[in-house]
Amino acid sequence: MASQMTVAHCEEMSVMIDNFTFEPAQLTVKVGTTVTWTNRDDIPHTVVSAGKFRSKALDTDDQYSFTFTSAGDYKYFCSLHPHMVGMIRVE
């Protein structure tokens, strides 16, 4: 549908961590999608959603993947820099 916004229909999506920012900061995916975060910064970051998922500290070019199996809004942040926030909307 032309009027739809950034709804992703593929089953693998990527979020880049760059310059203390999750890019894109908000992502809408379908149930069953695997999202992979890649740290492009030269300092460590984490990807943490309270009670949902938690990565280890990601060094440069490290990746973390999580498969979303139920719908909802998954707010997440970097536990090392809590001002870094993002959200995955699963529908």
Which of 45, 55, 64, 76 forms a contact with Cu ion (CB under 5 A)?
A: 45
7, 25, 71, 80: which one contacts Cu ion (CB under 5 A)? 80
Q: Determine, following the binding rule CB under 5 A, whether residue 77 of this chain makes contact with Cu ion.
A: no
CA neighbours within 13 Å on the CB side: how many for 28? 7
Is the Cβ of residue 15 or residue 45 nearer to Cu ion in the bound state? 45
CB of residue 73 vs Cu ion: minimum separation in angstroms? 21
CA atoms within 13 A on the CB side of 84: 22
User: What DSSP string describes 12-34?
Assistant: EEEEEEETTEEESSEEEE-TT-E
Residues within the interface to Cu ion (CB under 5 A) = 45, 78, 80-81, 84
